[in-house]
């Protein structure tokens, strides 16, 4: 089981002193990207989800194949599913311009997801930060740990439980199948018997049996561009596009049924639970303290000798009490430039 180890070191004020404009920098990049890519909010949220379920929230999903590293991007659950890596690169570049060597790619994913939820009209929640980046990827872990849209409810519950998440988290986070997905209507030779008849007829028109699975369909056909609770009312009407989604409501006796009903009846209840569940997911096995590293390029792990050299230079800068930022410098009284309030580098607990 993956535990939420060391998450006490995460803080909502982690970058208050070292990168106080972080949120505005990330928000600006996302807004620019959204102008040309209406799906980017959903894509950034999904990246955070797919990252955290594999060995914790360490940005391993962002690593390209290089040397001994085999990327997670080619794992089956990530193919034709995760996207938006170029926008993450743009965010990292913008953040490095203002706060070089300070903010991890793992925190960028967590913050980008939170901002995307809010920008899409969803709930506002404050994300704890302070994660560090992993140095390797785990494609086999991605194949085994990530829930499939065609898995049964019991199997998906087991995968959520394995990372410390419960059924409320499962139902709340199921909306992360946001916007659109490629789909072939015919499953195992026959239509899904739980599917609403009229909805099934609509899908047959856009998803012919001879199709190659490349046609995009709205996962929420009623309010596709809004972040709301209509997804759950659709499940009550047997209009869930994915088998895994519909089973949340259609599985007789399942604990998830009452949660779906609760979220369908109250958007505020759903919003509150969703924010809590996103925080819970972001707390899955973060690397903190001296574990991991702060990548300069989210696609590549920094070699140990280069990273140690960079860390040594930062330590020397810390000793002088001055850190240089774009446009000026700031005296920091001996605190680490990568730490927030009360996170002096010599006193942070090690995990």
Which residues sit in the known binding site for Ca(2+)?
A: 51, 54, 56, 58, 60, 72, 220, 223, 228
66, 69, 70, 72 alpha-carbon torsion, rounded to 10°: -110
Which residues are tagged catalytic?
A: 50
Task: Determine how many CB atoms are found less than 10 A away from the CB of residue 240.
Answer: 28
Residue set of the binding site for heme b:
177
Would you call 184 exposed, middle or buried from its count of C-beta atoms within 10 A (0-12, 13-18, 19+)?
middle
Residue 248: alpha-carbon gap to chain centroid: 21
Task: Determine how many CB atoms are found less than 10 A away from the CB of residue 9.
Answer: 21
Angle in degrees, 0-180, between the axes of helices 85-98 and 40-52, rounded to the nearest 10: 90
Cα maximum dimension of the chain: 71
CA distance 153 to 274: 19
Side-chain-side CA neighbours of 34 within 13 Å: the count stands at 17
SS3 15: coil
What distances in angstroms separate CA 22 from CA 42, 61, 111, 153, one per listed residue?
A: 21, 22, 9, 38
Residue set of the binding site:
51, 54, 56, 58, 60, 72, 147, 177, 220, 223, 228
CB 21 within 8 A of CB 328: no
Residue set of the binding site for substrate:
147
CA distance 145 to 148: 9
CB 63 within 8 A of CB 40: no
Q: How many helices (H) and strands (E) does the chain have?
A: 13, 4
SS3 44: helix
């Amino acid at each position: 089981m993956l535990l939420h180890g060391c998450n006490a070191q995460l803080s909502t004020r982690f970058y208050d002193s070292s990168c106080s404009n972080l949120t505005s920098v990330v928000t600006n990049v996302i807004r620019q990207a959204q102008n040309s890519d209406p799906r980017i909010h959903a894509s950034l949220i999904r990246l955070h989800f797919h990252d955290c379920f594999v060995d914790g929230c360490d940005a391993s999903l962002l690593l390209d194949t290089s040397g001994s590293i085999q990327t997670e991007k080619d794992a089956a659950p990530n193919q034709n599913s995760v996207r938006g890596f170029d926008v993450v690169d743009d965010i990292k570049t913008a953040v490095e311009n203002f706060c070089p060597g300070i903010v991890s790619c793992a925190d960028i994913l967590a913050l980008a997801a939170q901002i995307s939820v809010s920008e899409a009209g969803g709930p506002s929640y404050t994300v704890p930060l302070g994660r560090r980046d992993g140095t390797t990827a785990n494609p086999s872990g991605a194949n085994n740990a990530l829930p499939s849209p065609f898995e049964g409810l019991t199997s998906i519950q087991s995968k959520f439980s394995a990372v410390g998440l419960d059924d409320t988290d499962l139902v709340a986070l199921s909306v992360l199948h946001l916007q659109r997905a490629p789909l072939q209507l015919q499953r195992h030779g026959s239509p899904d018997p739980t599917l609403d008849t009229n909805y099934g007829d609509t899908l047959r028109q856009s998803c012919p049996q001879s199709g190659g699975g490349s046609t995009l369909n709205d996962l929420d056909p009623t309010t596709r561009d809004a972040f709301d609770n209509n997804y759950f009312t659709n499940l009550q009407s047997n209009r869930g596009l994915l088998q895994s989604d519909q089973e949340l409501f259609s599985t007789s006796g399942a604990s998830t049924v009452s949660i779906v009903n609760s979220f369908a009846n109250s958007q505020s209840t759903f919003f509150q639970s969703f924010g809590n569940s996103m925080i819970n997911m972001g707390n899955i096995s973060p690397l903190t303290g001296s574990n991991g590293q702060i990548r300069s390029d989210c696609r590549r792990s920094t070699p140990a000798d280069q990273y140690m050299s960079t860390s040594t230079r930062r330590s020397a800068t810390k000793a002088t009490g001055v850190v240089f930022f774009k446009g000026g410098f700031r005296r920091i009284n001996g605190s680490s430039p990568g730490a927030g309030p009360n996170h002096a580098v010599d006193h942070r607990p090690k995990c």
